């Protein structure tokens, strides 16, 4: 039953309106002053508050302020016999849904109450959909491995915080996917997430892109332009490859992070900005600091919450679910089923992917594009290896090792990948490896 709190210092009005609302099917609580209203709200689940504006020396706006400060999930309707534009504006500013002048017409009150409830229902639906989007963004992170599960846990733990985050990892590991999940789970989820790759732009152009410029600041600046910090106001800015920015821009970025103000290129005035910064890099910033190539004060500003994404070769448990996800996306995009033979699955699952997730996507897209039949066989999949990259598991087995990995390490890696291929089923994995289950468990250190 929908619950309504009526607040009025006149007993006759409380009695009349309570009877009206109860006959309409509402549960009704009543209060004659601000203290009693707060007590009712604290002890009951109320959906809508209907309050008089003047309450014997008190103001109904105190109740509106209480609702807003406590984030109480109820809409409010204000009644008053002393209506004015100023008081109506003030009530709306404090979060009131509607405003009625006395004497209140019963039918009009019921209509306004229904609108308030519809508004609340719509707001709850919007929030539910937003929560689904945030959850979907977190599910974009494949997290079967312990390392990725820890990253998802960190994102969950900082969801109500807006501290800077520094994401590190090799190229192609999915740093932007993690940044998007952080933004979507944060209080800024309904604002913009803007991204820039700092290594793709020359210094002067990156300066203008980040901080904006005024008309005439340089040749070609025919109009004033807002930079990404201004465009991302109240949202999030993702600075990818932060390790590639010049010392001059490092100093300028540090000032923005410290003072929350930007000075556009060629401008003389500062502009206030409210931006949460997430940075990422594939470089070793601590080594760069030691070499004098990256400012330590900027590093500590960015590295409040560090997140390191391991390369795909160090988290083989994630390879198979990633393949399944990419195949699913390609199936949906192309509108046709895509089938991999068991041998193709094994070949893809045992590869090291030096280019990480991005390379995995590239290999699958190329293979599917060039496929001639409904089933993709192992011979249709062409795997690449960069110069100096260790051989994949099949090559290593044929060579008896790659010269750098101990035979025991190589064997353990192979067993773990086969176990992942069979979804952790030890009996099936042992059969595929032609060893006993006890041997498999001993190799894994389980016995």
Q: What is the CATH number of the domain that holds 85?
A: 3.40.50.2300
For residue 162, tell me if it sits in a domain.
yes
Which of the pair, 399 or 142, is modelled with greater confidence?
142
DSSP 26: -
Residue 386 domain-assigned (yes or no)? yes
Q: What Å distances lie between residue 432 and 149, 415, 436, CA to CA?
A: 28, 10, 10
Backbone angles phi, psi at 46, to 5 degrees: -105, 135
Q: Is it the case that residue 230 has pLDDT exceeding 90?
A: yes
* Res. 219: pLDDT tops 80: no
Strands 54-55 and 58-59: antiparallel
Q: Are residues 11 and 144 in the same domain?
A: no
Q: Which domain holds residue 176?
A: 140-310
Q: Please tell me which of 106-110, 198-202, 253-257, 417-421 the model is most confident about, judged by mean pLDDT.
A: 253-257
3-state secondary structure of 234: coil
Instruction: From 198, 247, 208, select the one nearest 231 (Cα to Cα).
Output: 208
Q: Which residue has the tokens 């990995």?
A: 405
Do 56 and 156 lie in a common domain?
no
User: Which residues, in sequence order, are CB contacts of 164 under 8 Å at separation 6+?
Assistant: 257, 276, 277, 278, 279, 301, 302, 303, 304, 305
Q: Which of 126, 153, 177 is the last residue of a domain?
A: 126
Q: Is the pLDDT of residue 367 over 50?
A: yes
- Interval 352-363 mean pLDDT: 92
Residue 438 lies in a domain: yes
Same domain, 400 and 254: no
Task: Give the Cα separation of 222 and 244 in Å (integer).
Answer: 28
Q: Are 176 and 195 in contact (CB under 8 A)?
A: yes
Residue position matching structure tokens 């590093």: 299
Supply the pLDDT for residue 398: 41
Top-ranked range on mean pLDDT: pick from 51-65, 76-90, 163-177, 398-412: 163-177
For residue 408, being part of any structural domain is answered with yes
Same domain, yes or no: 81 and 11: yes
Q: Does residue 137 carry a pLDDT above 70?
A: no
State the Cα angle at 115 between 110 and 116, rounded to 5°: 95
Six-digit token string for 18: 């309570």
Residue 201 belongs to a domain? yes
381 and 414 in contact (C-beta within 8 Å)? Answer: no
In a domain, 19, yes or no: yes
369-392 pLDDT per residue, tens: 888 777 898 888 988 654 444 444
Cα gap 218→211, rounded to integer Å:
14
Round to whole Å and give the CA distance between 240 and 199: 8
312 DSSP assignment = G
Q: Could you tell me if 429 and 289 lie in one domain?
A: no
pLDDT value at residue 139: 54
Q: Which helix (H) or strand (E) holds 376?
A: strand 375-376
Distance CA(325)–CA(316), nearest Å, equals 15
In a domain, 134, yes or no: no
CATH number (domain holding residue 251): 3.40.50.300
Q: Do 384 and 420 sit in the same domain of this protein? A: yes
247 in the same domain as 320: no
The span from the CA of 183 to the CA of 161, in Å, is 10
Query: Which letter does DSSP use for residue 424 in this model?
Result: T
| Count of domains observed in the chain | 3
CA–CA–CA angle 98, 101, 106 (5° rounding): 85
Kindly state the tokens that stand for 343. Answer: 């041998």
Given 277, 310, 343, which residue is the final one in a domain?
Answer: 310
Residue with tokens 């409830």: 117
Exposed / middle / buried, residue 207 (Cβ in 10 Å: 0-12, 13-18, 19+):
buried
Enter the tokens of residue 424. Answer: 């952790």
The verdict on 121 and 145 lying in the same domain is no
With beta carbons less than 8 A apart as the criterion, state whether 152 and 200 touch. Answer: no
User: Are 174 and 86 in a shared domain?
Assistant: no
Instruction: Specify whether 254 is located in the same domain as 388.
Output: no
Asked if 415 and 292 sit in the same domain, the reply is: no
Q: What is the pLDDT of residue 302?
A: 96
Same domain, 118 and 197: no
Domain with residue 434: its CATH number is 1.10.8.60
The answer to the question of residue 133 being in a domain is: no
Phi, psi of 131 (to 5 degrees): -65, -40
Q: Give the end of a domain, one of 310, 327, 351.
A: 310
Give, rounded to a whole angstrom, the gap between the first and last alpha carbons of the chain: 58
Average pLDDT of the residues of the chain: 85
**Residue 406 scores a pLDDT above 60:** no
């Amino acid at each position: 039953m929908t619950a309504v709190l009526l607040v009025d210092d006149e007993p006759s009005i409380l009695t009349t309106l309570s009877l009206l609302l109860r006959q309409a099917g509402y549960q009704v609580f009543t209060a004659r002053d601000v203290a009693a209203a707060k007590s009712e709200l604290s002890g009951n689940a109320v959906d809508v508050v209907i309050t008089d504006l003047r309450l014997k020396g008190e103001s109904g706006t105190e109740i509106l302020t209480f609702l807003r400060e406590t984030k109480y999930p109820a809409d409010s309707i204000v009644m008053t016999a002393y209506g004015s534009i100023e008081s109506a504006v003030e009530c709306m500013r404090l979060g009131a849904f509607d405003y009625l002048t006395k004497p209140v017409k019963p039918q009009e009150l019921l209509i306004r109450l229904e609108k308030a409830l519809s508004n609340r229902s719509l707001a709850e639906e919007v929030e539910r959909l937003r929560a689904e989007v945030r959850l979907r963004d977190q599910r974009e992170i494949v997290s079967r491995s312990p390392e990725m599960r820890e990253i998802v846990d960190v994102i969950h733990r900082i969801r109500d915080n807006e501290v800077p985050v520094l994401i590190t990892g090799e190229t192609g590991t999915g740093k932007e996917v993690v940044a998007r999940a952080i933004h979507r789970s944060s209080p800024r989820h309904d604002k913009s997430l803007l991204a820039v790759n700092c290594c793709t732009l020359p210094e002067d152009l990156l300066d203008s892109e980040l901080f904006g410029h005024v008309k005439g600041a340089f040749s070609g600046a025919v109009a004033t332009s807002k930079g990404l910090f201004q465009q991302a106001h109240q949202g999030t800015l993702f600075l990818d490859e932060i390790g590639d920015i010049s010392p001059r821009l490092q100093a300028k970025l540090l000032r923005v992070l410290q003072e929350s103000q930007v000075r556009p290129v060629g401008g003389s005035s500062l502009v206030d900005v409210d931006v949460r910064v997430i940075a990422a890099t594939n470089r070793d910033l601590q080594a760069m600091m030691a070499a004098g190539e990256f400012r330590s004060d900027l590093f500590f500003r960015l590295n409040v919450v560090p997140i390191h994404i391991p390369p795909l070769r160090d988290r083989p448990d994630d390879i198979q679910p990633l393949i399944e996800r990419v195949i699913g996306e390609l199936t949906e995009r192309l509108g046709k089923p895509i089938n991999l033979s068991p041998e193709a699955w094994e070949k893809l699952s045992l590869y090291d992917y030096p280019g990480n997730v991005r390379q995995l996507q590239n290999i699958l897209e190329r293979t599917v594009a060039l496929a001639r039949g409904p089933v993709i066989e192992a011979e249709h999949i062409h795997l690449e290896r960069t110069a100096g990259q260790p051989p994949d598991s099949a090559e290593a087995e044929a060579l008896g090792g790659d010269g750098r990995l101990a035979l025991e390490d190589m064997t353990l890696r192979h067993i773990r990948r086969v176990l992942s291929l069979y979804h952790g089923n030890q009996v099936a994995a042992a059969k595929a490896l032609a060893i006993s289950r006890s041997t498999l468990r001993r190799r894994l250190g389980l016995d």
